[in-house]
């Protein structure tokens, strides 16, 4: 099961992130670099994690005009990441151009396997009321499914979604379409600011391909022990 766990390195600096990455190496399937850490430490931090033999998920949720996102996706491929994401709300042309850019750049570099390109559907911090506040009338479930289908038909490998939508997306898009699910909290951990959450075991059972876990591991007195007991 550990290969299906992605650790969120939600730190403000490279030293803290690298120390945790070294400590947890071999106990999770990959590590995630998000906005705060990337803005603070930049691409050199990603290169160092790749050099450490970590599978890196670059979680920047790119959302811009198609050409800008495509060029940024190419740059991410050159960093050696295993997975990167865009935001599905960018629409079909942006999704399509990003997918083409990732495939083309990986081919140019002679990669044996291109990085997975996935799209964010609906953030796990958003519920129906939050969607209504920005003018979206769909439920989080329906919106996530619509954006997953949009992502698939435009050439992406999968989506970021709540574990509550993972099973329906798997059924709709097929088992090879990746479902990466944040908002995962072990039974012994606090929900923090996540609203639509499941335990690791529940998420895998519900249809998640990979689960993203952060504070339950990184803030634990013994992060390795916490990683080893995620599914207890």
DSSP 187-213: TTS--TT-SS-B-HHHHHHHT-SEEEE
Separation CA 56–CA 38 (nearest Å)? 12
Would you state the pLDDT for residue 184? Answer: 87
Would you state the pLDDT for residue 127? Answer: 82
Separation CA 228–CA 31 (nearest Å)? 16
Which domains does the chain possess? 2-228 (3.20.20.70)
b/e 136-167 (16+ beta carbons within 10 angstroms → b): beeebbebbbebbbbbbebebbbbbbbbbbbe
E strands of the chain, at which residues?
A: 5-8, 30-33, 56-62, 83-87, 116-120, 158-160, 178-181, 210-213
CB atoms inside a 10 Å sphere around CB 181: 29
pLDDT (tens place) for every residue of the chain, 232 residues total: 899 999 999 999 999 999 999 999 999 999 999 999 999 999 999 999 999 999 999 999 999 999 999 999 999 999 999 999 999 999 999 999 999 999 999 999 999 999 999 999 988 788 888 888 988 788 888 999 999 999 999 999 999 998 889 999 999 999 999 999 998 878 765 545 444 468 899 999 999 999 999 999 999 999 999 999 999 7
Would you state the pLDDT for residue 194? Answer: 47
Residues annotated as part of the active site? 61
CA distances from 78 to 44, 91, 139 (A): 12, 24, 37
DSSP 35: H
Q: Rg of the Cα trace of the chain?
A: 17
Would you state the pLDDT for residue 189? Answer: 58
Would you state the pLDDT for residue 131? Answer: 85
> Hey, which residues does 5 pair with through a beta bridge?
211
- Whether the pTM exceeds 0.85: the reply is yes
């Amino acid at each position: 099961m550990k290969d299906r766990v992605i650790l969120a390195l939600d730190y403000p600096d490279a030293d803290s992130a690298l120390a945790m990455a070294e400590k947890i190496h071999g106990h999770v399937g990959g590590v995630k670099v998000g906005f705060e850490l990337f803005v603070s430490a930049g691409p050199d931090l990603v290169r160092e994690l790749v050099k450490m033999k970590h599978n890196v998920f670059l979680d920047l949720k790119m959302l811009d005009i198609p050409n800008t996102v495509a060029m940024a996706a190419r740059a991410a491929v050159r960093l050696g990441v295993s997975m990167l994401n865009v935001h599905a709300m960018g629409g079909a042309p942006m999704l399509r151009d990003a997918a083409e850019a990732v495939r083309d750049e990986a081919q140019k570099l002679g990669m044996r396997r291109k990085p997975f390109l996935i799209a964010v559907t609906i953030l796990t911090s958003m519920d129906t009321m939050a969607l209504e506040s920005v003018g979206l009338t769909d439920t989080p479930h329906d919106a996530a499914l619509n954006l997953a289908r949009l992502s698939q038909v435009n050439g992406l490998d999968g989506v970021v979604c709540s574990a509550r939508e993972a099973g329906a997306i798997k059924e709709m898009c097929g088992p090879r379409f990746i479902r990466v699910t944040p908002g995962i909290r072990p039974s012994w951990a606090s929900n923090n600011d996540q609203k639509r959450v499941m335990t690791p075991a529940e998420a895998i059972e519900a249809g998640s391909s990979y689960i993203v876990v952060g504070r339950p591991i990184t803030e634990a007195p013994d992060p390795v022990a916490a990683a080893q007991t995620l599914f207890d």
